[in-house]
Chain A
Amino acid sequence: MNLPLATVSKVLKFSCVDGPGNRLVLFLQGCNFACPTCHNPHTMKLCNDCGDCVPECPTGALTIVQGKVVHDASICDQCDKCLDVCPINANPKVTQYSVDDVLVLLYQNKPFLNGITISGGEATTQLKFIIALFTAIKTDEKLKDLTCFIDSNGYLPEPAWKTILPVTDGVMLDIKAFNNTLHRLLTTRSNERVLATAKLLFDSGKLHELRYLLIPGRTDSDEEIEDLANFVRALDTDTPLRLNTFQHHGVKGEALNWPTMKEPDVERIAEELRSAGLTNVVVPAVYI
Chain B
Amino acid sequence: MSELLKRFKGITEDPALSFTQKARYLSLEAENSLPYPELDEETAKALEERVICDMYEGHAPFKPRYVMPDYSVVLEKGSTFLELEPATTLDEAINSLMIAYHHVPSVTNMPVFIGRLDNLLLPYCDEVSDEDLYKKLKLFWRYLDRVLPDAFMHANVGPTDNRVARTIMRIDAELKQIAPNLTFVWDPDISSDAIFSQACESIIECSKPHIANNPLHQPLFDDYGYGVASCYNVLPLCGGASTLTRINLREVARRSKDTADFFENVLPKYIDLNFRLTETRIDHLFNKSGFFESFLVKEGWISRDRFTAMYGIFAMAQCVDELQAKEGRAGKYGHDETANQLGHRISKVLYEAVETRPMEHCWRGKAMLHSQAGLSDDDGCTPGVRIPYGSEPDPVTHVQALAEHHAFYPSGVSEILTLDETIENNPVALEQLVKGAFQLGFREFSANVSNNDLVRITGYMVRLSDIAKFKECGGSRINTTVLGAEAAETGKILERTPRVMSHELAPRYSQ
Total residues of chain B contacting the partner, CB 8 A: 25
Q: Are A14 and B422 in contact (CB under 8 A)?
A: no
User: Is A13 within 8 A of B396, CB to CB?
Assistant: yes
Q: Which single member of B424, B428, B435 contacts A111 (CB below 8 Å)?
A: B435
B429 near A22: Cβ-Cβ < 8 Å: yes
Chain A residues, Cβ within 8 Å of B431: 21
Q: Are A109 and B396 in contact (CB under 8 A)?
A: yes
Cβ 8 A contact of B436, one of A12, A16, A20, A111: A111
Most buried by A among B397, B420, B424, B429: B429
Q: Which of A53-111 contact B (CB under 8 A)?
A: 109, 111
A14 to B395, CA, bound (A): 7
Among candidates B399, B429, B439, B451, residue contacting A16 with C-beta atoms closer than 8 Å: B429
Q: Which residues of A contact B423 (CB under 8 A)?
A: 16, 285
Chain B residues with Cβ below 8 Å from A12 are: 394
Is A285 touching B432 in the complex (CB atoms < 8 A)?
Answer: no
Count: A-B pairs, CB below 8 Å: 64
A258 contacts chain B at the CB level, 8 A cutoff: no
Are B422's CB and A282's CB within 8 A?
no
A31 to B: closest C-beta gap in Å: 23
* Known contacts A22-B432, A286-B420; A13 and B426 CB within 8 A of each other: no
Instruction: Tell me the minimal C-beta distance from B204 to chain A in angstroms.
Output: 10
The interface residues of chain B lying within 8 Å CB-to-CB of A111 are 435-436, 439-440
Task: Say yes or no for A17: interface residue by CB 8 A criterion.
Answer: yes
Asked if B425 is at the interface (CB within 8 A of a chain A CB), the reply is yes
Contacting A at CB under 8 A, from B272-309, are none
B396: chain A residues within 8 A (beta carbon): 13-14, 22, 109, 112
Least Cβ–Cβ distance between B216 and chain A, in angstroms: 15
- In-complex Cβ contact of A20 among B397, B424, B426 (8 A): B426
Do A16 and B426 touch across chains, with their CB atoms under 8 A apart? yes
Q: Complex formed: what's the CA distance from A20 to B424 in Å?
A: 12
Which residues from chain A contact B421 at a C-beta distance below 8 Å?
285-286
Cβ of A123 < 8 Å from any Cβ of B? no
Contact of B424 among A14, A114, A285 (CB under 8 A): A285
Residue in B397, B432, B440, B451 whose beta carbon sits within 8 Å of that of A114 in the complex: B432
A218 to B370, CA, bound (A): 57
Contacts of B428 in A (CB 8 A): 20-22, 114
Which residue of A13, A16, A286 has the most chain B CB atoms within 10 A of its CB atom? A16
Asked if A28 is at the interface of the complex by the 8 Å CB criterion, the answer is no
Q: Complex formed: what's the CA distance from A273 to B123 in Å? A: 49
Q: How far is the CB of A135 from chain B (nearest CB, A)?
A: 24
Q: How far is the CA of A13 from the CA of B432 in the complex (A)?
A: 12
B436 pairs with A112, CB closer than 8 A: yes
Known contacts A112-B396, A113-B432, A114-B432: A17-B439 contact under CB 8 Å: no
Contacts of B430 in A (CB 8 A): 16
User: What residues of A have a CB within 8 angstroms of the CB of B435 in the complex?
Assistant: 111-112
Instruction: Report B-chain residues with C-beta under 8 Å of the C-beta of A285.
Output: 421-425, 451
Q: Is B433 an interface residue when CB atoms closer than 8 A count as contact?
A: yes
Q: Which of B420, B432, B439 contacts A21 (CB 8 A)?
A: B432
Question: Contact at B432–A112, with CB atoms within 8 Å?
Answer: yes
Q: Which residues of B contact A21 (CB under 8 A)?
A: 426, 428-429, 431-432
**Binary interface profile of A, 201-240, with partner B (CB < 8 Å = 1, else 0)?**
0000000000000000000000000000000000000000
Residues in B with CB closer than 8 Å to A15 are: 429
Cβ distance A78 to chain B, nearest Cβ, rounded Å: 13
Taking CB atoms, residues of chain B closer than 8 Å to A282 are 425
CA–CA, A137 to B479, complex, Å? 53
Kindly report which residue of chain A lies nearest to residue B431, judged by CB atoms: A21
Measured between beta carbons, the chain B residues less than 8 angstroms from A114 are 428-429, 432
Determine the residue in chain B with the shortest Cβ distance to A286.
B421
Query: How far is B429's CA from A245's CA once the two chains are assembled, in angstroms?
Result: 23
Q: Which residues of B contact A13 (CB under 8 A)?
A: 394, 396-397
Interchain CA distance A22-B420 in the complex, whole Å: 13
- Contact bitstring A42-61, B, C-beta under 8 A = 1, else 0: 00000000000000000000
In the assembled complex, which residues on chain A have CB atoms less than 8 Å from the CB atom of B440? 111
Instruction: Select one of B395, B422, B437 contacting A286, CB under 8 A.
Output: B422
* Given known A13-B397, A14-B396, A16-B423, contact A286–B451 (CB-CB < 8 A): yes
Within A186-213, the residues touching B (CB, 8 Å) are: none
Contacts of B437 in A (CB 8 A): 112
A13→B393 CA distance, assembly (Å): 10
Q: Bound complex: CA of A282 vs CA of B425, how far in Å?
A: 8
Most buried by A among B430, B432, B439: B432
> Nearest-CB distance from B453 to chain A (Å)?
15
Closest to A20 in B: B428
Q: 5 closest A-B pairs (Cβ-Cβ)?
A: A112-B436, A16-B429, A111-B436, A21-B428, A22-B429
Listed A/B pairs (25) with beta-carbon separation below 8 Å: A13-B394, A13-B396, A14-B396, A16-B423, A16-B426, A17-B426, A21-B426, A21-B429, A21-B431, A22-B432, A22-B436, A111-B435, A111-B439, A111-B440, A112-B399, A112-B435, A113-B436, A114-B432, A282-B425, A285-B421, A285-B423, A285-B424, A285-B425, A285-B451, A286-B421
Inter-chain pairs besides A109-B436, A112-B396, A282-B425, 14 sampled, C-beta below 8 Å: A14-B397, A16-B429, A17-B422, A22-B396, A22-B436, A111-B435, A112-B399, A112-B432, A112-B436, A113-B436, A285-B421, A285-B422, A286-B420, A286-B422
